[in-house]
Amino acid sequence: MIRRLRRCGHAPGVISPEDQAVVDEFRAMLTALRNPEPWTAGTGSARDIAVRVGPFVERAHPRPGDDHGPDLIAVTLVHPDTPYAAAYLHGRQLGYTERDWLRCPNTSIVGYWQPAYRQLTHAANGLHLPDDIGMAPAHYALYIEARQRDDGYTLFRLGPSTQTRHAQQDSDRLTAALDGRETTLAPGYRITMRFGPLNVSDHQLFTDPYETDVVALLNAAVADVSG
């Protein structure tokens, strides 16, 4: 995981400035690991944190306020050199920008991010993030569909909800609006609703649930189907 430290070919004796810089970086990393700055759940801090991904340590943005449970928070992994443009481009090459929000167990959190952790990341070692990083997606969406016996299509997609309770509230509103009317709102169709993952690449197809009256959206969508 850690890049092997090698002398730069200088003769024995006084250490070169280049070698000294490598040694100092390594010592700073060890110090950071031995003395992490503790992170505490529920503080609402927007500071980046360091999380374990297999044998590596990665930089992550937390999403304050997520209430999935006391033992999990939502994070998105970022390149260790964020926010520089070169870091974004390198991050795209290595899979950092493809992850979106993830469920991170609190037990995987090392502490607040420190620059000394940089050499422990996949990016610093020129490695692509693995497909399985041990964290499930942390985005929620509702799909409202009009279905016939052998066919159907999506009326609208609602998401992402950043908290489970928000998605559940929208689901409860739509369930109440549909109660007993699933097969009569749009003749020939059954209106159904389901939870599902939000495909980040299709984000433009989703309606923001925080700026929408979901019942009015349902009525408008059904009116379009009924013609």
Per the listing, tokens 């980040």 go with 200
Provide the residue type at 120 as one letter.
Answer: L
Predicted confidence (pLDDT) per residue in 103-123, tens digit: 899 999 999 999 989 999 999
Instruction: With 0.85 as the threshold, say if the pTM is over it.
Output: no
- Interval 199-215 mean pLDDT: 82
The span from the CA of 178 to the CA of 76, in Å, is 35
Q: Closest Cα to residue 123, out of 30, 53, 27?
A: 53
Predicted confidence (pLDDT) per residue in 28-62, tens digit: 666 777 778 888 876 666 789 999 999 999 999 98
Q: Strand 109-112 to strand 102-105: parallel, antiparallel, or no bridges (unpaired)?
A: unpaired
Provide the residue type at 65 as one letter.
Answer: G
The span from the CA of 181 to the CA of 47, in Å, is 47
Q: Closest Cα to residue 68, out of 108, 21, 101?
A: 101
